[in-house]
Structure 1
Amino acid sequence: MSMESHYYVIAGYDLTGNETDKFKDWKWSDDGEDYICNQCKGKIQFFDDPMSGLHLYFGYVLASGNEYSFDTEMFDVSDIEKCSGKVKAELVKLQELGVITKNPHFKPVFKIIVFEECR
């Protein structure tokens, strides 16, 4: 079995360890699949490292590609600022649904995250 590397640049949150017990089943529901199966530029998505489960990222996809094709992308800092409100609103919605921890001590930091996932 061969694996393919996928590369992502997202503006969002590292939610590792902040998923609830409900998350695992929810992500394969119709609503959950909207957040996990459209990992392409312009979408707000979860990334849960399907091979090892070592991270859970959530954010707006600024750029994506794989080991065969990764187009050069350029975006203005104002683009990142615009998407921060959208991503935050989606996070609040997911907390209300009970799939992400809703705890007053949990204060995720919005950041640019660049990573590789192998499938």
Structure 2
Amino acid sequence: MNQDDTQTQADPLDHPEVTKHLSEPLRALLRKVDDGDDGARAQALAPAAAIVDALAAVGLLEFAYLAPGEGEEDDGPIAWLEASEAIVDKERDAVVVAGSEILEVFDGPITLVDPPEHENEE
């Protein structure tokens, strides 16, 4: 899947891979969350965290921190981190992804649309 595929869909919940692998009840719940339903949001946190945690546990999830640059227009460095777990943070009312292993750091400017190649890939 292209890194930006889900962002180009009219509704990411209708992406073929999402419809194939996420149940219709969960997708319906996520649509309610998207519509601003706070009750649905509370219901969706646990299954969303479980799915993300499973992906992190098997090493399929990384995340990037894009540091601000020194000037308003400047991009700072980007750090790629391995996600190790996901939890429901009730205070933040969100799924929080955590990771402590920094995989790579690059000087900016780069974007997530066109990320640098990993150094150890062949």
TM value normalised by structure 1: 0.31
Query: Which of the pair is proportionally richer in helix?
Result: 2
TM value normalised by structure 2: 0.31
